[in-house]
Amino acid sequence: MVTTARRQQSFSQPQVTEVAGHPRLPTLPEWPRDTIGVLATADHTLHAIPVSWPVRAGDRRILLSLMNHRGSLTRLRARPEVVLMILAGGNVAVSAGGFARVVADPMPDAPDYVAVALEIDTIEDHRQGAFLVETGIQRTVVDSTELAYLEARFATLHEIAGRIA
Protein backbone atom coordinates (compact mmCIF):
# COMPACT_ATOMS: atom_id res chain seq x y z
CA MET A 1 0.00 0.00 0.00
CA VAL A 2 2.81 2.45 0.85
CA THR A 3 4.63 1.50 -2.34
CA THR A 4 1.50 2.20 -4.41
CA ALA A 5 1.01 5.59 -2.70
CA ARG A 6 4.66 6.53 -3.30
CA ARG A 7 4.37 5.55 -6.95
CA GLN A 8 1.23 7.71 -7.35
CA GLN A 9 2.90 10.59 -5.52
CA SER A 10 5.95 10.54 -7.80
CA PHE A 11 3.77 11.09 -10.87
CA SER A 12 2.02 14.13 -9.37
CA GLN A 13 5.11 16.00 -8.09
CA PRO A 14 6.31 19.09 -9.96
CA GLN A 15 9.92 19.54 -11.02
CA VAL A 16 12.24 19.97 -8.02
CA THR A 17 14.79 22.78 -8.02
CA GLU A 18 18.39 21.87 -7.26
CA VAL A 19 18.92 24.79 -4.89
CA ALA A 20 16.23 24.27 -2.25
CA GLY A 21 15.00 20.78 -2.95
CA HIS A 22 11.45 22.12 -3.30
CA PRO A 23 9.54 23.11 -6.41
CA ARG A 24 9.40 26.86 -6.96
CA LEU A 25 6.34 28.76 -8.09
CA PRO A 26 6.61 31.80 -10.37
CA THR A 27 3.83 33.67 -8.53
CA LEU A 28 2.03 33.54 -5.20
CA PRO A 29 -1.12 31.41 -5.15
CA GLU A 30 -4.47 32.79 -4.03
CA TRP A 31 -5.62 31.95 -0.48
CA PRO A 32 -8.81 32.48 1.55
CA ARG A 33 -9.33 35.74 3.49
CA ASP A 34 -9.18 34.13 6.94
CA THR A 35 -5.79 32.51 6.33
CA ILE A 36 -3.30 32.43 9.19
CA GLY A 37 0.34 32.56 8.16
CA VAL A 38 3.50 31.98 10.18
CA LEU A 39 6.05 34.79 9.89
CA ALA A 40 9.67 33.88 10.57
CA THR A 41 12.17 36.59 11.49
CA ALA A 42 15.71 36.37 12.81
CA ASP A 43 18.18 38.03 15.10
CA HIS A 44 20.72 35.80 16.88
CA THR A 45 18.00 33.08 16.82
CA LEU A 46 14.94 32.36 14.69
CA HIS A 47 11.45 33.47 15.74
CA ALA A 48 8.04 32.57 14.31
CA ILE A 49 4.65 34.13 15.02
CA PRO A 50 1.15 33.60 13.64
CA VAL A 51 -0.15 36.48 11.51
CA SER A 52 -3.83 36.92 10.72
CA TRP A 53 -5.23 37.44 7.25
CA PRO A 54 -2.17 38.16 5.09
CA VAL A 55 -3.11 40.04 1.92
CA ARG A 56 -1.84 38.87 -1.47
CA ALA A 57 -0.92 42.24 -2.98
CA GLY A 58 0.51 41.04 -6.28
CA ASP A 59 2.35 38.14 -7.83
CA ARG A 60 5.28 38.63 -5.44
CA ARG A 61 4.06 40.91 -2.66
CA ILE A 62 2.22 40.20 0.61
CA LEU A 63 0.94 42.78 3.08
CA LEU A 64 0.59 42.15 6.82
CA SER A 65 -0.57 44.15 9.80
CA LEU A 66 1.69 43.78 12.85
CA MET A 67 1.18 45.25 16.29
CA ASN A 68 3.62 48.09 16.79
CA HIS A 69 5.14 46.53 19.93
CA ARG A 70 5.86 43.07 18.46
CA GLY A 71 9.39 41.73 18.69
CA SER A 72 9.02 40.53 15.11
CA LEU A 73 8.58 44.12 13.95
CA THR A 74 11.77 45.14 15.76
CA ARG A 75 13.64 42.22 14.21
CA LEU A 76 12.46 42.82 10.63
CA ARG A 77 13.36 46.50 10.88
CA ALA A 78 16.91 45.49 11.86
CA ARG A 79 17.15 42.48 9.56
CA PRO A 80 14.49 42.53 6.83
CA GLU A 81 14.98 38.98 5.53
CA VAL A 82 11.81 37.03 6.37
CA VAL A 83 9.84 33.95 5.42
CA LEU A 84 6.06 33.63 5.55
CA MET A 85 4.66 30.09 5.64
CA ILE A 86 1.09 29.72 4.43
CA LEU A 87 -0.96 26.55 4.84
CA ALA A 88 -4.47 27.38 3.67
CA GLY A 89 -7.63 25.95 2.22
CA GLY A 90 -7.55 25.16 -1.46
CA ASN A 91 -4.37 23.10 -1.04
CA VAL A 92 -2.07 26.07 -0.50
CA ALA A 93 1.24 25.09 1.11
CA VAL A 94 3.99 27.60 0.39
CA SER A 95 6.85 29.38 2.05
CA ALA A 96 7.46 32.83 0.63
CA GLY A 97 10.88 34.31 1.33
CA GLY A 98 12.04 37.83 0.75
CA PHE A 99 12.46 41.22 2.37
CA ALA A 100 10.09 43.15 4.64
CA ARG A 101 9.57 46.89 4.75
CA VAL A 102 7.18 49.01 6.74
CA VAL A 103 4.78 50.86 4.43
CA ALA A 104 2.50 52.56 6.99
CA ASP A 105 3.47 53.41 10.57
CA PRO A 106 0.94 53.64 12.04
CA MET A 107 -1.76 52.13 9.86
CA PRO A 108 -4.61 54.52 9.04
CA ASP A 109 -7.35 54.07 11.67
CA ALA A 110 -5.23 51.50 13.55
CA PRO A 111 -2.65 53.43 15.59
CA ASP A 112 -1.37 50.32 17.37
CA TYR A 113 -0.56 48.51 14.08
CA VAL A 114 1.89 49.01 11.24
CA ALA A 115 1.50 47.77 7.67
CA VAL A 116 4.39 45.66 6.41
CA ALA A 117 5.05 44.72 2.79
CA LEU A 118 6.90 41.49 2.06
CA GLU A 119 8.69 41.69 -1.30
CA ILE A 120 8.97 38.04 -2.24
CA ASP A 121 12.04 36.57 -3.96
CA THR A 122 11.31 32.84 -3.66
CA ILE A 123 8.08 30.89 -3.43
CA GLU A 124 8.61 27.28 -2.45
CA ASP A 125 5.75 24.88 -3.13
CA HIS A 126 5.28 22.37 -0.31
CA ARG A 127 2.25 20.55 -1.69
CA GLN A 128 2.56 16.79 -1.93
CA GLY A 129 0.64 14.43 -4.10
CA ALA A 130 -0.26 12.18 -1.18
CA PHE A 131 -1.70 15.01 0.98
CA LEU A 132 -4.12 17.91 0.56
CA VAL A 133 -4.37 21.02 2.70
CA GLU A 134 -8.12 21.42 3.03
CA THR A 135 -8.48 24.03 5.75
CA GLY A 136 -5.06 25.23 6.83
CA ILE A 137 -4.42 26.78 10.23
CA GLN A 138 -7.71 27.75 11.86
CA ARG A 139 -8.27 30.47 14.44
CA THR A 140 -11.66 31.73 15.57
CA VAL A 141 -11.94 35.36 16.64
CA VAL A 142 -14.27 35.21 19.65
CA ASP A 143 -14.36 38.96 20.37
CA SER A 144 -16.68 40.75 17.92
CA THR A 145 -14.88 44.06 18.45
CA GLU A 146 -11.54 42.46 17.57
CA LEU A 147 -13.11 40.81 14.50
CA ALA A 148 -14.37 44.20 13.28
CA TYR A 149 -10.90 45.68 13.89
CA LEU A 150 -9.25 42.83 11.96
CA GLU A 151 -11.71 43.27 9.08
CA ALA A 152 -10.95 47.02 9.00
CA ARG A 153 -7.18 46.39 8.93
CA PHE A 154 -7.67 43.83 6.15
CA ALA A 155 -9.59 46.41 4.11
CA THR A 156 -6.90 49.02 4.78
CA LEU A 157 -4.20 46.60 3.59
CA HIS A 158 -6.14 46.17 0.34
CA GLU A 159 -6.26 49.97 -0.07
CA ILE A 160 -2.51 50.19 0.56
CA ALA A 161 -1.93 47.38 -1.97
CA GLY A 162 -3.62 49.51 -4.63
CA ARG A 163 -1.37 52.46 -3.88
CA ILE A 164 1.99 50.66 -3.82
CA ALA A 165 1.36 48.38 -6.81
**pLDDT score at 55:** 98
pLDDT tens-digit map of 24-40: 999 999 999 999 999 99
Domains of the chain by residue range: 20-164
How are the residues of the chain apportioned to helix, strand and coil, as percentages rounded to the nearest 5?
25, 40, 40
State how far the Cα of 148 lies from the Cα of 144, in Å rounded to an integer: 6
pLDDT tens-digit map of 116-142: 999 999 999 999 889 999 999 988 999
State how far the Cα of 47 lies from the Cα of 58, in Å rounded to an integer: 26
Topology (CATH) of 20-164? Pnp Oxidase; Chain A (2.30.110)
**pLDDT score at 165:** 66
State how far the Cα of 85 lies from the Cα of 46, in Å rounded to an integer: 14
Strand locations in 68-160 (E): 81-88, 92-104, 113-125
Could you give phi then psi for residue 89, rounded to 5 degrees?
-55, 155
State how far the Cα of 114 lies from the Cα of 65, in Å rounded to an integer: 6
Q: Is the pTM of this model over 0.75?
A: yes
In this predicted structure, the answer to whether residue 18 has a pLDDT above a threshold of 50 is: no
State how far the Cα of 115 lies from the Cα of 93, in Å rounded to an integer: 24
